[in-house]
Structure 1
Amino acid sequence: MKRSAPQQAPEVQVETSGQLPPDAAAYARDKVRAVLGQTREPVLFARVRLNRTANPAVERPVTAQANVDVNGRPARAHVAGQTATQAVDLLQDRLAARMARLAEHREARRGRTPVPGPHEWQHGSEPTHRPDYYPRPVEERQVVRHKSFSLAWESPDEAAFELESMDYGFHLFTDADSGEDSVLYRSGPTGYRLAQVHPSPRPEGSVAVPLTVSELPAPRMNMAEAQQRLEATGFPFVFFADDSTGRGNVLYHRYDGHYGLITPAQ
């Protein structure tokens, strides 16, 4: 079968904020277009956001984020660098990895390649380029973003693909086998960890990704208790069962130093 040719590189929207070099936007546009021009599916949307924080305490003050839609499938990359050029170069590499993962998944679904094995899901040291958290005082932190949506019913393998293609630090979903609200996150250099409202054992060999499962149920608590737990542990997020609904929620640290909250739609 004849392989389709790469699509014409799309227009890329670039938004900037903070003190950046005059050519930063054009550099980011060219680098992202070079990645997207290699895909064999139409890119319906592409946007890059560049920001330089004025806080001198931040070691990598320039953040770069790309959001794209490849034929209806979203992908995302988010990095930080010491300079605009470094951040954009890191973004280009990270976005290229996201695009390769989407292409592999598309081919696997079409039956042209085997379903990815554990070695194909390795994420290595990619998270080392994530942005630094703004050191906002605890008393100033608030929930400034609350997202509520119907959780996808997925397997841990599908959740891992979603986490990697969207460059998330965690992914909240409903386990397709057990029906339990669950969160998947990276554990170690190549593995993943699964936590559930009510943990259920998984048959050996039923998951392709290297996965460990927490044996502890999600703690049942209210928002104030979740915030206290988040600050006490120092973790980037806390997974908990809402004390009124029993559904799995995630409260997390945003890069601006505030909190974000994700809840399932009732």
Structure 2
Amino acid sequence: METGSKSLPGTQSVSSPPHLPLAPPRLIELSPQNLYDKCTALARNLWWSWHPEVTNMFRELDPIRWRQLDHNPIALLAEFTPERLEARAAELVLYSRINQAYRRLKEYLAGESTWSNVHAGVLGSKPVVYFSAEFGIHESVPIYSGGLGVLSGDHIKSASGLGIPLVAVGLFYDQGYFRQQLDIDGYQHEEYLQSRVEALPIEPALGANGEPVTVQIDTRSGPLFAKVWKMSVGRVSLYLLDSDVEGNKPDDRE
């Protein structure tokens, strides 16, 4: 006995179309806000700074403003709406690159097959604390002035790559290094620029109670209070002490 659809004399059998979802997942994934959120997540972890393909992706969004904003993706994205970002990404065919970069970052942060886990698993329960007066991670985060900062920055980037459970602690400088110019007579002139917290990849460090952390440091001249900023450098958390806190002496707040 044959199986299959049958039709009455004089009629045609019509196959029912398969059910079509109202909103394909791909359209949801590439919505303007979702695309913007992915770019923001990439910009807020300095993992991008040692991956040229991600750096180039940000630069291509607006090469002129990228240069004028000192290669700062957070400051650049602040000038985009989700809709404008989507239009620019469509124009440059950046969808797949943004999704790939975001996926790579998530896989990197969740990865367990690191050098540390394989060769030094005991460190997992004994994190290393790394103190430095300055950390040079990238020029868009001006909290360093020379070689010491660059060396410290390279150390925590390497620790991130190796998966070493390292916690970095340093100082927050709201002016950071200065820009220098030479006049016609060869004399140097310095210009200190004020950093805008909202344009930096930092956020308040939160305690177990969910409140921003403030620490007290005992000095010869009395107690000094500091709020704490958190910066993500790949797998490593960098905590920066900021003495610009109400209650400190004016000199201590500078």
Structure with max Cα Rg: 2
Which gives a bigger RCO, structure 1 or 2 (Cα 8 Å, sep 6+)? 2
> Structure 1 length normalisation: TM-score?
0.25
Q: Per residue, is there more strand in 1 or in 2?
A: 1
> Structure 2 length normalisation: TM-score?
0.26
